[in-house]
Amino acid sequence: MIGLAGEGLISKVIVLADDFDRAIEARPPSIADDPWVEGIAAIDRKLRQLLESEGVSPIYAEPGALFDPREHEAVASIPGSDQPDGSIVAELRRGYRLRDRVLRPALVAVAAGDTTTATSAGDDAGSTDQPIH
């Protein structure tokens, strides 16, 4: 029961970590060297260290990595990317593992083949020039 309560708290802290990610990524370049911004980055590092000390680690979802449905959730399919089919094109939200169990899958966009050349299995069999109603 204590483990479940701890997992619930960790899930809430991960949402806070997401907010730090967005804030740091959106900082204007004109204030990147400001001491206040450096302080925010230091708080983020401490938050990451706290999560790591509790057994939380990020799920690897870099562009080019193979999509793994056990760790990734595909929310977009990108045809015509320079990545091989079935590989990750972009990580949209970081995923996390709690020890050896997925706490939250990474949301990713996955490379897909060009769908304009794909055909269905029934296209050649028994085809006629008349529409099917």
pLDDT at 78: 92
- The C-alpha atoms of residue 60 and residue 95 are separated, in whole angstroms, by 8
Residue 34 DSSP class: -
Check residue 109 and give left, alpha or beta (phi > 0: left; psi -120 to 50: alpha). Answer: beta
pLDDT at 8: 87
Residues 85-109 have a mean pLDDT of 95
- Cβ atoms of 10 and 51 within 8 Å: the answer is yes
- The C-alpha atoms of residue 9 and residue 102 are separated, in whole angstroms, by 15
**Residues 15, 62 within the same domain:** no
Name residues whose C-beta falls within 8 Å of residue 124's C-beta, 6 or more positions apart in sequence.
none
In the structure, what pLDDT confidence band is assigned to residue 3 with cuts at 50, 70 and 90?
low
**Residues 49, 29 within the same domain:** yes
**Residues 50, 60 within the same domain:** no
Q: Which two tokens stand for residue 88?
A: 């990750």
Residue 105: how many other CB atoms lie within 10 Å? 19
- Residue 133 within any structural domain of the chain: no
pLDDT at 2: 54
| Total domain count, the chain | 2
Beta strand 72-79 pairing with 106-112: parallel
- Cβ atoms of 67 and 87 within 8 Å: the answer is yes
**Residues 41, 61 within the same domain:** no
- Residue 132 within any structural domain of the chain: no
**Residues 8, 47 within the same domain:** yes
pLDDT at 7: 86
pLDDT at 14: 96
- Residue 129 within any structural domain of the chain: no
**Residues 2, 49 within the same domain:** yes
**Residues 49, 13 within the same domain:** yes
**Residues 31, 81 within the same domain:** no
**Residues 1, 50 within the same domain:** yes
- Residue 130 within any structural domain of the chain: no
- Residue 126 within any structural domain of the chain: no
pLDDT at 114: 62
For residue 29, give its domain range. 1-54
36-66 pLDDT tens trace: 999 999 999 999 999 999 999 999 999 999 9
For residue 83, the domain's CATH number is 2.30.22.10
The overall pTM is greater than 0.85: no
